[in-house]
Chains A and B, each alone.
Chain A
Amino acid sequence: MGNLMIKAENISKSFGTLEVLHDISFSLERGNVLSIIGPSGSGKSTLLRIITQLEKADGGSLEIKGEYLFKDGVYSKTEVQKRIGLFTGLVFQSFNLFPHFSVLRNITEAQRAVLKRSKEEAEEKAYALLKRMSLADKAKSYPCELSGGQMQRVSIARALALDPEILFFDEPTSALDPELTREILNVIRSLAEEKMTMVVVTHEMNFAKGISDHAIFMEGGYIVEEGDPISLFEHPQNRRTQEFVKSFE
């Protein structure tokens, strides 16, 4: 199984006395898209933040591309953590662009500082990505001069510039109005068509049903139900999933 990108086993996490994740296990293969849905506070962001190393898990194991980030709650060496970090990219709900950098520099900075690419190489890559995001004319603009949808496309370009092998999206459209949402969903859909491995937390049910190979419904820190998207969204077995999916119709 050289194609296993993520293998999560019994991941648990608490904030103080609040248990936010209980025994979360799932796996994801190369080229597949996993969508995670669930009500507010169910632990979706926390799970993404653990995999992208913004948060530390308390227990369980997580393998990314066959390397353990942590095993039975014990984290691997810093070098391994860093190496695994290079495989993963994260797109935030609130974009988190660097306001003092131009669009171009937002996309080149990490290529240069982290991957040590040359200025020319980094800019070439950035322009190609901007073109693909239909933002070629915005390279010299600053984030404050862009619409929300444009900012989110820049942040996707910023993540893609490092050639991540798995891209995570945490409610990438929740800060956007419907029209701009469509813009972003189209970008994610085109990435799915190119077989980018992705994990998407979203409330866009139809979109999730359309692009994902696998879907997870979380509530209260548990995976309540999972399966192929058609069955999860159209014929959920669990009553809570049924209620949740229904509330979006």
Chain B
Amino acid sequence: MQNLIMQMLEGTVTSLQVFFLTLLFSLPLGFVVAKGRMSRNFLLRGIVNLYIQIMRGTPLILQLIFVYFAPYYVVGVSYDRFTAVIVAFVLNYSAYFAEIYRSGLQSIEKGQYEASKVLGFSKTHTFFYIVLPQVIKRILPSLGNEVVTLVKDTALAQTIGVSELFRVAQNAASRMFSTMPIFVAGVFYFVMNYIVSKLFDFFEKKLSYYR
């Protein structure tokens, strides 16, 4: 039993690595994608839009397989499975975050930009001090949803053989002829997401001092 918990903790570490690395890259990258999506250049806008549609319109599991195997079939090189997981997750989550950022950015009233302009703020000042704080407040709930989904999505990493929490649990289950490890894994995911939700609740409360 103790042994099982140790193995599952190791699997959890892998899951958490996928989780944090995905956030680390896709949170900022999503912003770049959102900018492209809102670009005035229709070609750029079109390409970015297509990318977002593909990411949202196909299963993440398929994207994982594609990202891992496509380079092998096309140019004959294979690479680290874990890296492939991160690449696929970052590509996928950047698209989702981009749409969240875009809706947030577009929800800021024109008057906020006009007041900033009339008061003489630079574009950077307007963005970082006037627009961004309001965007963050507005997108926090949808961002929270997406992050909770990411915790659960890390289980897909096993598709290309990365042994994260769920794979460890499945292996243990077949070894022990028992579904118990699967339930234990369920508790693990639940606890992680409980923490995530509490964290988002905390930030939402912190930002609830206005409107």
Binary contact readout A48-67 vs B (1 if CB under 8 angstroms, 0 otherwise) = 00001110000000000000
> Are the C-beta atoms of A100 and B134 separated by less than 8 Å?
yes
Give the chain B neighbours of A52 by CB distance below 8 A. Answer: 118
Within 8 A of A (CB), among B116-143: 117-122, 125, 129-130, 133-134, 137
B39 to chain A, nearest CB (A): 21
Considering the complex, which residues of chain B in the window 44-62 have a beta carbon less than 8 Å from any beta carbon of chain A? none
Docked-complex contact A100 and B210, CB < 8 angstroms: yes
The answer to whether B210 touches A143 (Cβ under 8 A) is yes
Assess whether B111 is interfacial by the CB under 8 Å rule: yes
Tell me whether B114 and A110 are in contact (CB under 8 A).
Answer: no
Residues of A within 8 A of B130 (CB): 98
* Interface size, B (range): 20 to 34
Q: List residues of chain A with CB within 8 A of the CB of B121.
A: 109-110, 113-114
Contact A100 B137, CB 8 Å, known A109-B129, A144-B210: yes
A180 to B86, CA, bound (A): 58
- Is B109 an interface residue when CB atoms closer than 8 A count as contact? yes
Look across to chain A and name the residue whose beta carbon is closest to the beta carbon of B207: A100
Interface residues of A in 83-128 (CB under 8 A from B): 85-86, 88-90, 92, 94, 96-100, 109-110, 113-114
- Given contact pairs A53-B117, A88-B118, enumerate 7 new A-B contacts (beta carbons under 8 Å): A54-B118, A86-B120, A94-B111, A99-B134, A100-B133, A110-B119, A162-B120
29 A–B pairs (Cβ distance < 8 Å), ordered by A: A52-B118, A54-B114, A85-B118, A88-B118, A92-B111, A92-B114, A92-B115, A94-B111, A96-B109, A96-B111, A97-B115, A98-B112, A99-B211, A100-B133, A100-B210, A110-B119, A110-B120, A110-B121, A114-B119, A114-B120, A114-B121, A142-B210, A143-B210, A143-B211, A144-B210, A158-B119, A159-B118, A162-B119, A162-B120
